[in-house]
Amino acid sequence: MTASAQCLLPQPQQVEWQRGRNVQGVVSVAHVSPQCLCSTSPEAYRLRVTRDSIVVYAATPIGELRARQTLAQLRDRRGAYRCVLIDDAPAYEWRGAMIDVSRHFFPIEFLRRQVDVLSAYKINRLHLHLTDAAGWRMEIKAYPRLTSLGAWRRGQTWKQWWWEYGREYVDRAHPEAYGGYYTQDELRELVAYAAARGVTIVPEIEMPAHSEEVLTAYPELSCTHEPYRQADFCIGNPATYVFLQRVLEEVMDVFPSTDIHIGGDEAGMASWGDCPLCQAKMRELGLTDKRQLQASLIAHIGKFLSSHGRRLIGWDEIVDASLPAGATVMVWRGMARATEALRLGLDVVLSPGQYCYLDAYQDAPPTQPEAMGGFTPLSTVYDFVPDVGVTAEQRSHLRGVQGNLWTEYVPISQQAEYMLYPRMLAIAEVGWNGTRQKDWTDFRERAKRQAEALRAEGINAFDLGREVGNRKAMLHPVSHKARGAKVTYNAPYAEAYRAAGDTTLTDGRSGGWHYADGRWQGFIEAARLDVTLDLGREQNIKAVSTHFFQSCGPEIFFPAGYEVSVSRDGRHFTPMGRDDRDVVRTDTPDVQTRTVRGRTRARYVRVKATAGDQQGWVFADEIEVH
C-alpha cells in the first residue's frame, strides 16, 4: 500500500511512544516533499512503526529503500517489528567498498552477492579496481589483447606470479593460465542489479602506472616499446591518449556512474626521463619535473571525462594536477593528504590505509591466514573519525569514506568475504553516522551478531567470538635496568617510523601487531640498529634482550646479526656476546627476542642489529637490560 502526501510527517513529540511490536508487517509508503525530512540527502527517510501500522516517509525511491533496509534490521526471529520512530539520513553521500579484482579474479556471482550484503548495510558505492599489473578484467572491444593476453597469467596466486613465475602473462589456452575478465554484458547486468539495490558501481582504470599488463599487450604505448619492461604509459605518445580515451568511452558506455576512477597512484616515472617523446612533451608544456608530466595527463583525462558529463576520481597523487571542477581525490596515504586536498578546494573520499585498508590482518597474525601485513582490527576501523581537523567550510567537500580490499593475499572468494566482514560494517557505520557519538561495546556486539547472521547465510564473515586481539605484551610496561635510560643513536632511525623518538627503546612499552603502531622503531640506514644506552651508573648485567618485528610483505626482517658490548666509561667497549641467526622468511608477521647473557658490570651498553642478505628494514620496540 502506498500513500502520497505533501507533508504527512508527525513530529516526534506527537508520536505516542509505544512499547511492543508490530506483528502484521504491512508497510505503507508516504511520498513526502524533501523539506519534510530531517535532511536534504536523497537517502533521508522517516520510519514509524507502531503496533498497528508501519509507515515509511520518503521523498525519493532511494529514501524508501533505506527505510525498508532499516525495517529489515528491526525484524525479530518471529517476524515482528519493534515499535520505533526513526528520522534518519547519512552523514556522508559516499559510503564505499573497493574490491581489487585484478590481483585475483572473482566471479561475477561473487560481486552480485557482495552487492546484496553491502547494500543491506547501506553501502552505496562498489568500486571495482578493474585493471592492474596482475590482470586486466574488463572486455574492451577496441583492444582485444587486453583480455586475450592481459587477463591471463602464470601463477594461481598473485604471490606465485610475482615471486616464482617472473610475472609472466600467457595466452588463455596455456595449461597454467590463471585469470579471467568480465564481459561488458556481465558488467551491465551487475550495474543494473546494484542500482536496484542502491549501489553505484564505480569502475577504476589505472593510469599512468600499474599498467604492466597493458604495456605487455600493447608495448607501443610504453616508452621503450618493449613488452615486460614498464609499468607506466608513455605520456609523450599521442597513441596513449587515443588508447585511454577509447577505453574510457567503452567504460562510460557500460558504467553510468558519474564518478570514473582513473587510478593515478604510485607512478615510478623512471622511463619518462630517457624517453624522447616524454621529454618533448615536457618541453612543449614548459614542465620541469616528471610529476608535472603525470599531472598533465590527469588534467587532460579530467577534461575528457568532464566533456562527457562525468567526474574524475583518483588516488591522492592526483592533487598535483590542475583538476576540473567536481574532481574527487580518494585519500589513501594518510589524513595529511586529505587536509591538503580540502585546502585546495577539492572533493575528497577518505580511505586512509591506517583505518580503511582491509587487506591488513584483522586479528593476531599467527592465528590468521596470510595477509598483506599491518594490523587493522574492527576496533581500528570503527575508531576512524572522518572529519577530524576539517573546517565547517571544507565539510561540504568531504564526500565520504571507503573500505578497500586489495587482494594480493586474497586468492579466493571465501577469503575476500572473511576480510570484508565485519570490518565493512564499521565503514558503513562511520559513513552513515559520521562523528555522532561512538559506542564501541554496543557496536562490537551488533557487529558480532551481524557476522553470525551473515555466516548463517553462507557469507564467510570473520568470527568475532574467536578474536584474540593485539599482543598482550602491549598491556603491561616491562620493568628492567635500562628503563628510562638515555639512548644515543649511532645510526639514525627513520623519521617515518620514529615511534616515540629517542625514548622508544627504553620506555618499557612493547609494540603490537602493527609495525606503524607508534611503538616499533624502524631502521633502514647503515647497518640498521646501532645504539648506546647509558644506565646512569655502573650496574651488574646478566642479560641484554631486544625484541624485533618481522613482516616480509613490507620488507621488515629480523636482523641477521645481534651483538652486545659494554663499557664503564662510554669509550672503551668490550664484547658481551652475540645472538646471530639465519633470517627465514615467514608468511605471517612475527616477533622474536634476541638475548645475550653473561656476568658483567657496566654503565654503557651498545646494541647492534644488522640486516641479513635480504637487506630491508629492522624494527625494534624495547631493549631490556637485566
Q: Which residues would be at the binding site for ligand ACM (CB under 6 A)? A: 265-266, 315, 332
SS (H, E, C) 268-327: CCHHHHHCHHHHHHHHHHCCCCHHHHHHHHHHHHHHHHHHCCCEEEEEHHHHHCCCCCCC
Name which of 265 and 590 has its Cβ closer to ligand ACM: 265
CB of residue 330 to ligand ACM, shortest distance in Å: 8
* First-residue to last-residue Cα distance in the chain: 77
* Nearest residue to 215 via CA among 121, 306, 131: 131
Name which of 360 and 541 has its Cβ closer to ligand ACM: 360
Name which of 132 and 530 has its Cβ closer to ligand ACM: 132
* Nearest residue to 490 via CA among 615, 346, 607: 607
Name which of 332 and 619 has its Cβ closer to ligand ACM: 332
- Return the H-helix or E-strand segment holding 494: none
Backbone angles phi, psi at 209, to 5 degrees: -110, -170
- Interatomic CA distance for residues 595 and 624, integer angstroms: 9
Under 8 Å between Cβ of 377 and 358: no
* Helix-helix angle 440-456:423-433, to 10 degrees: 130
Q: Which three cell numbers stand for residue 80?
A: 515482528
SS3 category, 12: helix
* Nearest residue to 204 via CA among 315, 299, 123: 315
Query: How long is the chain?
Result: 626
CB of residue 266 to ligand ACM, shortest distance in Å: 5
- Interatomic CA distance for residues 437 and 457, integer angstroms: 31
Contacts of 3 by beta carbon, 8 Å cutoff, 6+ apart: 28, 29, 30, 31
Contacts of 260 by beta carbon, 8 Å cutoff, 6+ apart: 202, 203, 205, 248, 251, 252, 305, 310, 311, 312, 313
CB of residue 466 to ligand ACM, shortest distance in Å: 29
CB atoms within 10 A of CB 571: 7
Under 8 Å between Cβ of 624 and 544: yes
Name which of 143 and 515 has its Cβ closer to ligand ACM: 515
Residue that has been written with the C-alpha cell 635480504 in this structure: 614
- Interatomic CA distance for residues 243 and 103, integer angstroms: 23
Name which of 90 and 400 has its Cβ closer to ligand ACM: 400
CB of residue 206 to ligand ACM, shortest distance in Å: 10
CB of residue 90 to ligand ACM, shortest distance in Å: 24
Name the amino acid, one letter, at 562. Answer: Y
- Interatomic CA distance for residues 517 and 609, integer angstroms: 21
Please identify every residue annotated as catalytic.
132, 210, 266
CB of residue 295 to ligand ACM, shortest distance in Å: 17
Name which of 360 and 430 has its Cβ closer to ligand ACM: 360
CB of residue 323 to ligand ACM, shortest distance in Å: 17
Q: How buried is 442 (Cβ within 10 angstroms: 0-12 exposed, 13-18 middle, 19+ buried)?
A: exposed
CB of residue 208 to ligand ACM, shortest distance in Å: 13
* Nearest residue to 404 via CA among 95, 134, 96, 91: 96
- Interatomic CA distance for residues 202 and 204, integer angstroms: 7
CB of residue 514 to ligand ACM, shortest distance in Å: 16
CB of residue 403 to ligand ACM, shortest distance in Å: 13
Name which of 332 and 562 has its Cβ closer to ligand ACM: 332
Name which of 266 and 590 has its Cβ closer to ligand ACM: 266
- Interatomic CA distance for residues 561 and 62, integer angstroms: 61
Do the bridges between strand 259-263 and strand 200-207 make them parallel or antiparallel, or are there none, so unpaired? Answer: parallel
Name which of 315 and 548 has its Cβ closer to ligand ACM: 315
